[in-house]
Structure 1
């Protein structure tokens, strides 16, 4: 299992750190040449979102938005307080969360929540090891978002 994680995640991490980030206007092929194969691809209207997740223990996910013309529109790290604040409970669903935040680090269930809970590790204010829980109802619509310390990461450091 460790070898599988290493061989699938490490190349994406290495590619993401290898040089300057892609610039708006670059063709999608140039973006993939710089960043490597995306960890996820999502349609967002006429645009395509390329996910570069550092997953399950990583605290960063970059999303490259490719426009209908096949060129890079934007490239950003999405596991931030500012991006989490754009999520609308009662409106956003699993598909919109994937397009906005990428895949979760973990999917779990709590007795107090009627549906799935997606967990995202991130650095709160680029300092604190944190976990954002996105809680869905049975229909897959966001019901709540709860953040707190990433206790697993903190316990691992001790």
Structure 2
């Protein structure tokens, strides 16, 4: 248990990269990315803290191999950029990275990706992104993250 805790602390102690840093310096500061996504001529390096973490950092590397932007993407503002009836799984991965959890909703046969985050920087929340069979976002819903709720509230 303490090793897991130390691992989480180590992630928080990383030095943030600076705009213009070459990709090797970004990786030296941040470590090995949890995923890499293509975005036109750019690459996006994902640094996820999940499945229990509430932060995912994305480092966008331009065609010249240098850092163009670096941001924490599990925010209400970033989720708001995902367009319902338009965005695909790949768009969601490039925007907010891999989900903390996946599930299915049988009624509509939707695949659901869930993301832990701090809504408004305060409330422990889950954002649920619902995809149809073609991989298009059809619905997004958020609510409290039961991981942070008192156990007896849900009868546990």
- State the TM-score, normalizing by the size of structure 1: 0.88
What is the deviation of 1:14? 1.8
> In structure 1, how many angstroms separate the alpha carbons of the residues matched to 2:134 and 2:148?
31
When Rg is computed on C-alpha atoms for both structures, the one with the higher figure is 2
Q: What is the CA RMSD across the aligned residues, in angstroms?
A: 2.3
Find the counterpart in structure 1 of residue 83 from structure 2. Answer: 88
The DSSP-based 3-state class of the residue aligned with 2:133 is coil
Listed as ranges, the matches of 1:44-123 within 5 Å are 44-123=39-118
Find the counterpart in structure 1 of residue 10 from structure 2. Answer: 14
Q: Does residue 37 in structure 1 map to residue 32 in structure 2?
A: yes
Structure 2 gap segments, 5+ residues each: none
What is the deviation of 1:152? 2.4
Cα 1:100–1:93 change in 2 (3 A) is same
What is the deviation of 1:15? 4.4
Structure 1 gap segments, 5+ residues each: none
Question: How many pairs does the alignment contain?
Answer: 153
Matched-pair contact (CA < 8 Å) for 1:16–1:35? no
> In structure 2, how many angstroms separate the alpha carbons of the residues matched to 1:106 and 1:85?
20
Q: Kindly provide the CA deviation profile for residues 84-111 of structure 1, in whole angstroms up to 9, marking residues without a partner as x.
A: 0000011101011001100000000122
> In structure 1, how many angstroms separate the alpha carbons of the residues matched to 2:65 and 2:150?
44
> In structure 1, how many angstroms separate the alpha carbons of the residues matched to 2:62 and 2:12?
20
> In structure 2, how many angstroms separate the alpha carbons of the residues matched to 1:72 and 1:16?
20
Moved beyond 4 Å, runs of 4+: none
Matched-pair contact (CA < 8 Å) for 1:120–1:132? yes
Equivalent of 1:138 in 130, 133, 136? 133
